[in-house]
Amino acid sequence: MDMKFGFYPRLAASGMRKMRQLFLPYGLTCAGMVMMFYIILFLAVDDSVGMAKGGYALQQIFALGSWVIAIFSCIFLFYTNSFLMKRRKSEFGLYHVLGMGKAQIGRILFWETLFTALLSVGGGLFFGIALSKFAQLGLINLMQGEVTYDFDVSWLAVKRSLQVFGAIFCLLLLNSVRQIRFSSAISLMRSQQTGEKPPKGNYLYGILGLLLLSGAYYIAVTVQDPLTALGNFFVAVVMVIVGTYLVMIAGSVCFLRLLQKNRRFYYRPSHFVSVSSMVYRMKRGGAGLASICVLATMVLVMMASVSCLYFGEERLIESRYPGDYNLTFHFSGMDGLSAEKIQTLQDTFTSRLADRGIAPQNSFSYRNVLFYASLEGEEAVPFQTGSVDMDYRLFVMVPLADYNAITGAQETLEEGEALLYAHRSAYRGDTISFRQGNSFRIKKQIQRFVENPSMGMDILPGVFLVVPSLEEGMAGLEALESQPQESLLSQSASFNWFWYFDTGLEVDEQITDYYELSGVIRDPAAKESLGYESCLFESQAINRQDFYSLYGSLFYLGLLLSIVFVLATVLIIYYKQLSEGYEDQGRFAIMQKVGMTRREIRRTVNSQLLTVFFLPLALAALHLAFAFPIIRRMLLMFNMDNVPLFAATTIISLLVFSLFYTAVYRMTSNAYYRIVSGGADKS
């Protein structure tokens, strides 16, 4: 077919213009994903972000986020492109019948893909560059860092965006050409009229889906410690995704068949047409509903968790750093923890603080010995190399005198008695014994212990024992002293004295004095004369910025990714409504000819949409409810134990998303109605 150059581009442009109802939202969504990819990658390489405190770790998080968007964009654009191809196949089939070869149809697809890529990638980069400064300012503001107003363009981010989305559009073109290449003219012409049979064995698939969901829910509600939660979370996620698709595809067919058997419900004008239409296409429709449900669950889980971390960061800082200055002195053995040596150490450093005009306020301190041991019933077995798969916990022993001093309690203990606090776990025994060591009767379990860095930093659950004396607590466990650390878990015990206090100084003065005091504390002569092995000296003011960087970046990245997932959800819903609207258009036209009014069409449309449209939201809410316990356990790895705050962010996230989802329902139901009714509602 000898045609002038420009014929195929004009034909492609004409087809896109005629079907702008499909191409416009597709192009806008592509542009939105390009924009988000550029912005996240821009933040990952921006010098202003990198120079902020904690900026390196933050940029690593954003670099990972850019890959998440790239992979998701590829999967999602393939998914949505299938809607476009289904609608275009009949047109291409007509071209083929009229004499146009498949090679020429491939040229039309090439120009359509090229136009879409140029407009969406170009538009996405334009808005990404234009909004990148606002994104940078917003992030630095969340981090409470120094703001600069220089405008920069990241050519690396531009180059990477062109490479990633150029590759995606090339793959889309090849996939579209493949579909045309292996389809006959008749199958292309009848692509929109070809119905789908409900999947065979749907009861079996539905039961399998329910079993997978039940298994995932069981894992989520029974997990106890953060490490197990982290390991099981991804298993549960896969089970939920597969189970959701099986339940939505097969279970929805079963549900609609039950409605058909209900004569009172089914044989009503508004229900008869809607239910029969949905059964006709529920295999594909169920997959669409499942995709909406999975995306909605991702958004809800992400926003609930990162919002909890962000809005609870001050509580986390106070938990991790109880005082303005936080000192942890480490000793080589029990000798360093004698009351006389600790008093000498405190007096010496109090004097040195006084030389700088610092008088410790709200001061408290205590001694402890900590080590790792596996819990076998009511017996604790100290850590052994090669046994890291056992139920290991952090054991902390605190002398009764120090516990009473810092809590104001007046507890008493007889020999062989102890108080117990189970941190991030539960302990139901009446006694606890140590292999080769003493056995203690639990006088009572205390509900909370003083915050300290070891609780905030260790992801393992902990058992805190208040014992009459450290000598009694460690009797028989002398072998734990002075052993080398050969793995992540230590074979040796750690002997510590914690001292926390406020300074009464302004933040800038705290930071200045911190750097001066650090040199004194780390002085080898001071270590030798005062008998401590090392000292961890931490300032709340200095480390606060690290928390702002970490949780601010997580919240910001979660917000950006949620926007991407929400855009994807909207487009899936929109295309689902349009695709089904065009499929149902002929059936509703026949119904109008035999007497169905526009008002009855509207009732039928509402019945059809309300029957299944809110199923994904309801199932996503159910997923979120069962995910609550396992996510709460995972948040403990960040030392976030504020259950009321997490519950509040979860409920608010669900309410906000539900309102948004309802608004999308209103818009897309109107689009569906206009298609099936043949025009705007004039009634």
Per cent of the chain over pLDDT 90 is 10
Location of structure tokens 């003083």 = 450
Looking at residue 623, its pLDDT comes to 92
Q: CA torsion sign, 640 to 646 to 647 to 650?
A: negative
The Cα–Cα gap between 654 and 471 comes to 53
pLDDT in tens, 36-58: 889 888 888 877 776 666 566 66
Give the residue-averaged pLDDT of 399-407: 90
Is 648 a residue whose pLDDT tops 90?
yes
Looking at residue 202, its pLDDT comes to 61
Residue type, 472: E
Looking at residue 52, its pLDDT comes to 64
Is 302 a residue whose pLDDT tops 50?
yes
Is 649 a residue whose pLDDT tops 60?
yes
The strand pair at 361-376 and 417-423 is best described as: unpaired
pLDDT in tens, 10-34: 877 887 787 777 788 788 878 888 9
Q: Taking all residues of the chain, what is their mean pLDDT, rounded to a whole number?
A: 78
Torsion on CA atoms 648, 654, 655, 661, rounded to nearest 10: 170
**With bands split at pLDDT 50, 70 and 90, how would you rate the model's confidence at 175?**
confident
Q: 76-90, 332-346, 586-600, 626-640: lowest mean pLDDT where?
A: 586-600
More confident residue, 152 or 441: 441
Cβ(632)–Cβ(305) below 8 Å: no
Looking at residue 664, its pLDDT comes to 82
**With bands split at pLDDT 50, 70 and 90, how would you rate the model's confidence at 666?**
confident
**With bands split at pLDDT 50, 70 and 90, how would you rate the model's confidence at 679?**
very low
pLDDT in tens, 519-549: 888 788 878 888 888 888 888 888 887 777 7
**Both structure tokens of 346:** 């405190």
Looking at residue 608, its pLDDT comes to 63
The Cα–Cα gap between 168 and 159 comes to 14
More confident residue, 207 or 653: 653
**With bands split at pLDDT 50, 70 and 90, how would you rate the model's confidence at 488?**
very low
**Both structure tokens of 661:** 């989802």
Helix (H) or strand (E) holding 680: none
**Both structure tokens of 28:** 């806008």
More confident residue, 465 or 388: 465
Looking at residue 683, its pLDDT comes to 39
Q: CA torsion sign, 434 to 440 to 445 to 449?
A: negative
More confident residue, 83 or 657: 657
Residue type, 521: I
Nearest alpha-carbon partner for 290 in 231, 205, 204, 192: 205
3-state secondary structure of 224: coil
Please list, residue by residue across 271-282, b when 16 or more beta carbons sit within 10 angstroms of its beta carbon and e when fewer do. Answer: bbbbbebbbbbb
Cβ(587)–Cβ(651) below 8 Å: no
Helix (H) or strand (E) holding 283: helix 269-311
More confident residue, 69 or 162: 162
Give the residue-averaged pLDDT of 434-447: 88
Looking at residue 574, its pLDDT comes to 76
More confident residue, 340 or 448: 340
Q: 162-166, 221-225, 605-609, 643-647: lowest mean pLDDT where?
A: 605-609
The Cα–Cα gap between 366 and 346 comes to 11
Looking at residue 185, its pLDDT comes to 57
Task: Give, in degrees to the nearest 5, the angle at Cα 252 between 248 and 256.
Answer: 170
Is 236 a residue whose pLDDT tops 90?
no
3-state secondary structure of 203: helix
Per cent of the chain over pLDDT 70 is 75
pLDDT in tens, 203-219: 777 788 889 899 989 88
Give the residue-averaged pLDDT of 123-145: 80
Is 199 a residue whose pLDDT tops 50?
no
3-state secondary structure of 385: coil
Looking at residue 655, its pLDDT comes to 93
The Cα–Cα gap between 266 and 492 comes to 72
The Cα–Cα gap between 405 and 152 comes to 57
**With bands split at pLDDT 50, 70 and 90, how would you rate the model's confidence at 431?**
very high
Give the residue-averaged pLDDT of 577-583: 69
